[in-house]
């Protein structure tokens, strides 16, 4: 593996991001592989993705020009992009507490989707993505909030047991037929 560079994604990376997301979408991964390798549930539309890229909310990891991983962040002001999990988060943010404070009273951004190409997993790219996110979003936000399907133990292990995200709540999502663990990490401490 050559050097991996992490930086904000550009509009020309759109197809590579969509391809990586599509390859790892729940509906495109069989049950056995889902349990072992993980998967993403939320599908980001091209329009939303373009908007996120313009606002430097999509972080890519690259080997030469090849995109090998992405992290898509969402700002609180943009949580109305018709993603059920995020709409739900807004509703329940008044009941969830983090470090003794109501989530609703903190400045937080949401992690909409994260994916690493299969060939590049277990190579330390995940902390690099969060390190960059921390630099980019840390000055504006206190917490990064993520959602991990309870049927994705690999992602839970990486985020909670290895990177120290806290589990701050759960909710049942009837639309995506999933129970989500809501996880959070102070942004300035990531990385």
Ligand X SMILES: CC(C)(COP(=O)(O)OP(=O)(O)OC[C@H]1O[C@@H](n2cnc3c(N)ncnc32)[C@H](O)[C@@H]1OP(=O)(O)O)[C@@H](O)C(=O)NCCC(=O)NCCS
Does the protein bind ligand X through residue 152 (CB under 6 A)? yes
Does the protein bind ligand X through residue 62 (CB under 6 A)? no
Q: Residue 105 Cβ, how far from ligand X at the closest point, in Å?
A: 25
**CA 30 remoteness from chain centre:** 21
The two three-digit tokens of residue 171, written as one number: 């909710």
**Of the candidate residues 7, 36, 101, 107, the single one contacting ligand X (CB under 6 A):** 36
Nearer to ligand X, 64 or 122 (CB): 122
**Of the candidate residues 9, 96, 115, 187, the single one contacting ligand X (CB under 6 A):** 115
User: What 3-state class would DSSP assign to 179?
Assistant: strand
Q: Give the Cα separation of 18 and 20 in Å (integer).
A: 6
Stretch that binds ligand X, among 1-9, 31-39, 91-99, 100-108 (CB under 6 A): 31-39
Nearer to ligand X, 78 or 128 (CB): 128
Q: What angle do CA 141, 106, 49 make, to 5 degrees?
A: 45
Tell me if 145 sits within 8 A of 108, measured CB to CB.
yes
Stretch that binds ligand X, among 8-16, 50-58, 99-107, 114-122 (CB under 6 A): 114-122
**CA 97 remoteness from chain centre:** 20
CB atoms near residue 162 (< 10 Å): 11
- Binding-site ranges for ligand X (CB under 6 A): 24, 35-40, 114-116, 121-122, 125-126, 148, 152-155, 157-158, 162
């Amino acid at each position: 593996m050559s050097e991996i560079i992490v930086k904000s994604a550009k509009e020309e990376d759109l197809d590579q991001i969509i391809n990586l997301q599509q390859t790892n979408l729940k509906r495109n991964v069989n049950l056995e592989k889902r349990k072992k390798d993980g998967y993403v549930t939320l599908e980001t539309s091209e329009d939303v993705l373009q908007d996120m890229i313009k606002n430097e909310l999509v972080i890519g990891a690259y080997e030469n020009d090849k995109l090998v991983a992405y992290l898509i962040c969402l700002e609180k002001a943009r949580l109305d992009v018709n993603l059920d999990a995020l709409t739900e988060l807004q509703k329940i943010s008044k009941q969830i507490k983090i470090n003794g404070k109501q989530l609703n009273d903190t400045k937080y951004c949401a992690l909409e989707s994260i994916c690493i190409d299969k060939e590049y997993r277990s190579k330390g790219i995940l902390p690099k993505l969060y390190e960059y996110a921390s630099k980019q979003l840390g000055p504006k936000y206190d917490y990064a909030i993520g959602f991990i399907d309870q049927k994705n133990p690999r992602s839970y292990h990486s985020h909670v047991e290895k990177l120290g995200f806290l589990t701050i709540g759960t909710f049942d999502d009837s639309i995506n037929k999933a129970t989500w663990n809501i996880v959070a990490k102070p942004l300035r401490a990531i990385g």
